[in-house]
Amino acid sequence: MLKEIRPAIVFIVALTIITGLIYPLAMTGIAGVIFPSQAQGSLIEKDGKVVGSTLIGQSFTSDKYFHGRPSATTAPDPKDPTKSIAAPYNAANSGGSNLGPTSKALADRLKEDVDTLKKENPAAAVPVDLVTTSASGLDPDISPAAALFQVPRVAKARGVPEDRLRTLVANETQGRWLGLLGEPRVNVLKLNLALDALKS
């Protein structure tokens, strides 16, 4: 057993340095050169200021913007750091609601949200992704149905014809990869940036 101590020390130190320092640092260097935008987090700048990342959802509450999905992320309570408070789209503390299929809290939340949305657009069926929280709490996307559902509200708030917004949603819809993998989706931040660009 004693004879194994020297290799144990040498191999643990050497392999730690190779896999724990050389590998990630080398990859950081190479990735930064080949894919500089992605490596930094796919950030979007507007007038020299970072307004977000294309991959990270953000909270929209104004009628003039398309809204993302509900988010269950939290932040420490400023009054009592041992407790946490709701903080939608907190990109420094990802997570889901973790409410189970027979949870009363989930049932109540869904009913309330569905009722609110039905008032907003009585004509269409409420899309399921617009009332369920995502796994990360940072889902950047909504389904095309969820975007179209919000068109009447946004059109009214902005005074823009609904048809123009439907075209905009269609333009911003990404299909399945090679028509096969994943689900069709609309990136909410990109859609809202395109919406802001409409005016000018």
Partner 1 sequence: MTLIGWVQIILYCAIIVALTPLLGAYMTRVFNGERTFLAPVLRPVERLLYRVGGVDETSEQGWLAYTVAMLLFHVGGFVILYALLRFQGALPFNPAEQTAVPPDLSFNTAVSFLTNTNWQNYGGESTLSYLVQMLGLTHQNFLSAATGIVLAVALIRGFARASAKTVGNFWVDITRCTLYILLPVCVVFTLFLVWQGIPQTLGSYVDATTLEGAKQSIAVGPVASQVAIKMLGTNGGGFFNANAAHPFENPTALSNFVQMLSIFVLGAALTNVFGRMVGNQRQGWAILAAMGVLFLAGVVVCYWAEANGTNILNSLGLSGGNMEGKEVRFGIVASALFAVITTAASCGAVNAMHDSFTALGGMIPLINMELGEIVVGGVGAGLYGMLLFVIVTVFVAGLMVGRTPEYVGKKIEAREVKMAMLAILILPLMMLGWTAIGVVYPPAVASMANAGPHGFSEVLYAYTSMTANNGSAFAGLTGNTLFYNLSGAVAMFIGRFWMIVPAMAIAGALAAKKSVPPSLGTFPTTGGLFVGLLVGVILIVGGLTFFPALALGPIVEHLAMLAGSTF
Tokens representing residue 181 in the block: 């993998």
Residue 194 touches partner 1, criterion: CB under 8 A: no
Applying the rule CB under 8 A, the residues between 139 and 178 that interact with partner 1 are 139-143, 176-177
Least distance CB 4 / partner 1 (angstroms): 5
The continuous run of DSSP H or E covering 173 comes out as strand 173-174
Q: How far is CA 133 from CA 13, 50, 127, in A?
A: 44, 26, 13
Residue 55 touches partner 1, criterion: CB under 8 A: yes
Q: Which is nearer to partner 1, 9 or 170 (CB)?
A: 9
Applying the rule CB under 8 A, the residues between 74 and 103 that interact with partner 1 are 89-103
Give the distance between the most distant pair of CA atoms in the chain. 81
Q: Which is nearer to partner 1, 142 or 151 (CB)?
A: 142
# residues contacting partner 1 (CB under 8 A): 100
Please give the distance of CA 78 from its chain centroid, rounded to a whole number.
24
Least distance CB 49 / partner 1 (angstroms): 6
Q: Which of 63, 77, 86, 107 binds partner 1 (CB under 8 A)?
A: 107
Cα dihedral 27, 32, 35, 37 sign: positive
Q: Which is nearer to partner 1, 15 or 85 (CB)?
A: 15
Tell me the C-alpha distance between 119 and 111, whole Å.
13
Q: Which is nearer to partner 1, 14 or 198 (CB)?
A: 14
Chain position carrying tokens 């809290």: 105
Least distance CB 161 / partner 1 (angstroms): 22
- For residues 74 and 93, the answer to whether their CB atoms sit within 8 Å is yes
